[in-house]
Amino acid sequence: MAHRHCPNCGGLKLHPFHRVNDAEQRYIASQGPNPSDWWRCGNSGEKGRCLWVQPIYHQSAGFSLPDSFR
Ligand SMILES: [Zn+2]
């Protein structure tokens, strides 16, 4: 577990991030990046689980998973 800022959830609060699972890793790889050491925001909002994924120290390389990953 790590705590990072999340551009989707916003604010100054740090959110718990966890390592992406196999399905998430496959999707990230299908988009081009090497998915090793990618993490997903573990925060939940009104619409369900947050879809933000990123390399743990490289937020600008991250993106949102498609809605099917909620
Ligand atoms: Zn988030």
**pLDDT value for 28:** 98
Ligand 1 centroid distance, CA of 61 (Å): 15
Task: Please enumerate in sequence order all residues whose Cβ is within 8 A of that of 50, keeping only pairs 6 or more positions apart, or say none.
Answer: 6, 8, 9, 15, 40, 41, 42, 43, 44
What is the separation, in whole angstroms, between the first and last Cα of the chain?
19
User: Which residue did the predictor score with more confidence, 11 or 67?
Assistant: 67
**pLDDT value for 1:** 80
Ligand 1 centroid distance, CA of 7 (Å): 7
Burial (CB < 10 A; 0-12, 13-18, 19+), residue 28, is: buried
Write out pLDDT tens, residues 15-67.
999 999 999 999 999 999 999 999 999 999 888 999 999 999 999 999 999 99
For the chain, give every domain's residue range: 2-69
Instruction: Tokens for 61, please give them.
Output: 């390389």
Please say whether the beta carbons of 17 and 42 come within 8 A: yes
**pLDDT value for 59:** 95
